[in-house]
Amino acid sequence: MIRPSVLVFAGSDPSGGAGIQADVQAVAALGAHPLSSITALTVQDNDRVYKVHPVPADLVLQQARTLIDKMDIAAVKIGIVGNRANAEAIAEAIGLLKQRRPNLPVVLDPVLGSGHGDMLSEDDPRHSIMRLLPLASLVTPNLPEASALCGGEQRPDAQAELLLEHCRNVLIKGGHGDGPDVVNRWFSRSDRRTWTWPRLEGGFHGSGCTLASAIAALLARGRPMRDAVDQGQWYCQHALTAAYAVADGQRMPDRGITVDNMESRT
Ligand code: PXL
């Protein structure tokens, strides 16, 4: 049996909480195989980012092409890209993949900065995100990201309407709000659904990466979008509930949790 692969474009987070380190764990936990093209090296601990060093664009493309030439890729996940040249390289790789698989699922996590607001791109990440948005099948902004991508618009319904002009599915995550619950809203052009999860105490490192990668893995395994968005959140919430500390500050989602009974949810 060939296991479906997810090609992840992401930066390295040496703390092991976010970025490619998170993506690899989440994709594997959900039964797909993680392939990677590293877009940037960062210098960071579990709280703060001190440096971002983009990988040269030709190397981002070469990493991907070598895999694309040999392997069938069932889904793509995009995290930080590092700079605009890397966004172009990623667009080229996705173009190649879509020649083979026109309906390739592509999950775009539109990261504008770290949880503390530290830079994770050499230039304005909004340009790279807008370049990649039409190539994505799902975009997963939190509320501040959705607002920044929509000219300061604050209302999720209006944000979704704008983003749906570029991308077929939008998941607006409420983790950055306040209140006792986190409300996540999924919109497609013909459907929508809202989830309410209890807000967990404290801060986490890499929750957005965990969720987007989980959804990409589920899409790679053939789940319909609505189910993948549902089950991905279920997995992410449990990984956050089981989070552990490695130092003061943000905790690490436990992405090794067992996911057996998630199948029964939809
Ligand atoms: O969670 C967003 C994110 C993505 N990618 C890398 C990161 C972070 C947050 O710190 O470091 C590499």
Looking at residue 178, its pLDDT comes to: 84
Ligand 1 neighbourhood includes 13 CB (under 6 angstroms):
yes
Ligand 1 neighbourhood includes 120 CB (under 6 angstroms):
yes
Distance 45 CA to ligand 1 centre (A): 11
Integer angstrom CA distances of residue 247 from 205, 206, 225, 256? 12, 15, 36, 19
pTM of the model: 0.97
Ligand 1 neighbourhood includes 209 CB (under 6 angstroms):
yes
Pairing status of strand 75-78 against strand 49-54 = unpaired
Pairing status of strand 49-54 against strand 169-172 = unpaired
Distance 256 CA to ligand 1 centre (A): 19
Angstrom distance (rounded) from CA 48 to CA 46: 6
Please state the domain count of the chain.
1
Looking at residue 266, its pLDDT comes to: 41
Ligand 1 neighbourhood includes 145 CB (under 6 angstroms):
no
Distance 19 CA to ligand 1 centre (A): 5
Ligand 1 neighbourhood includes 42 CB (under 6 angstroms):
yes
Angstrom distance (rounded) from CA 132 to CA 120: 17
Question: Do 35 and 10 form a contact (C-beta atoms < 8 A)?
Answer: no
Looking at residue 141, its pLDDT comes to: 98
Q: Which residues of the chain have pLDDT under 70?
A: 259-266
Any idea what the CATH number is for the domain that residue 78 is in? 3.40.1190.20
Domain of residue 127 covers 5-265
Nearest CA to ligand 1 atom 4: 19
Distance 190 CA to ligand 1 centre (A): 31
